[in-house]
Amino acid sequence: MGSMAKHIVAEEGAAGLLTGFGPTAVGYLIQGGAKFAGFEYFKKTFAQMAGSQADAEKYRTAIYIGGASAAELVASTLLTPLEAARIRLVSSKGYANGLVGAVGRMAKEGGLGEFYAGYAPLLCKQIPYAIGQFTTMEMLSDLGYTKRFKAKGKTSEIAVDLGNGMLAGAAAAVLSHPADTLLSKINKGGGGKGGAMKKLLVLAKETGPVGIWAGLGTRVVMTAFLISGQFAIYGQIKAAVGAPAGVNIAKVDVKKES
């Protein structure tokens, strides 16, 4: 990571480290809001669909996975156009002057299809990411040690959320990294002609079982810190509005058995 940063600064100046910041900020603001809110909504909905408290408890892992997947599907649909613009700005020097310029050029050259060319691969990346992120965090939050430490006060609550978030971030990075590698290659024009999934298969074969994991260490570090911070903030917001801490399926309203 350090050598790459030095290389970018040497080639493009310090401003090069902020290439693609516009679509990153806008895209992940929208995507993050839809994903976190969506997960709470779908988690509650699927718990109610279980029919009884006992069944909601029994199938809690499936509820986590289903809730994370549904929320990410909605969020990624909103994110895809901006993610495509971001990758073009980062990977193709001089492609456009910022977010507006990138969007305008993409619309002119390929229309709507240009924005969603990487939609299927993005889902292959983002859905495993969300599953790793939310399912790991929720399962850790259910553990006895988490509840005991959180009971010691605000500082302990934040510390536990930070620690659990690091593990959730590592899980999210590992699960989503192969698709992330291939998505970057597709958005740089790789994979030849054909649909996105065909390109995905071609690139997977070209990249190989080793190359597909290139850069994993850097991404684990980045994602672990990112998700750790997200959950520390998210946990405090949930506490402030009186939402159940952790997963606490038992506190989610479910239909009573008839």
- The per-residue DSSP string of 166-197 comes to HHHHHHHHHHHHHHHHHHHHHHTTTT-SS-HH
Sequence spans of domains, the chain:
2-249
Q: What pLDDT is attached to residue 247?
A: 45
CB 203 within 8 A of CB 191: yes
List pLDDT tens digits, range 53-96.
788 888 889 999 999 999 999 999 988 888 788 878 777 777 88
d(CA 164, CA 112): 39
Q: What pLDDT is attached to residue 2?
A: 81
d(CA 118, CA 126): 12
What is the CATH class of 2-249?
Answer: mainly alpha
List pLDDT tens digits, range 157-175.
888 889 999 999 999 999 9
Q: What pLDDT is attached to residue 37?
A: 92
**CA-to-CA dists, residue 176 to 99, 182, 195, 219, 251, angstroms:** 25, 10, 21, 10, 31
Burial class from Cβ neighbours inside 10 Å (0-12, 13-18, 19+) for residue 40 reads middle
pTM of the model: 0.76
CA dihedral of residues 198, 201, 205, 211 (deg, nearest 10): 120
